[in-house]
Amino acid sequence: MKVTEFSWLADENIDPAVVEYMRRKGLSVQSIQEAVMRGASDLKILEKGLNEQRIVLTHDRDFGTMAIEAVKRDDGDFGGLDSASTIR
């Protein structure tokens, strides 16, 4: 797959200039601000990313921690979010 075939969800800590740059390069990017989710919990943002099959772009290390812990448990549960049941 090419990077342009992926869809992205930019967390609110990603500079809007980065989002615009990605769009100019042909990437499909939605920002948390555009999704009217400013201040949403990491879990809600991850859930949106999973439901829409978007890669979450963030500076927040909590997302990585949730993924690592799920792999360690080998259960696919991202901090209370069952990825298998939310991916469409």
Query: Tokens in use for 6?
Result: 């992926």
Q: What is the mean pLDDT of residues 8-17?
A: 93
What percent of the chain clears pLDDT 70, i.e. is strictly above it? 78
pLDDT at 86: 41
For the chain, the first-to-last Cα distance in angstroms comes to 19
Q: Tens of pLDDT along 14-53?
A: 999 999 999 999 999 999 999 888 888 888 888 888 888 8
| Interior angle at CA 78, CA 20 and CA 74, nearest 5 | 125
Provide the whole-model pTM. Answer: 0.74
pLDDT at 76: 56
Return d(Cα 38, Cα 67) in angstroms, integer: 22
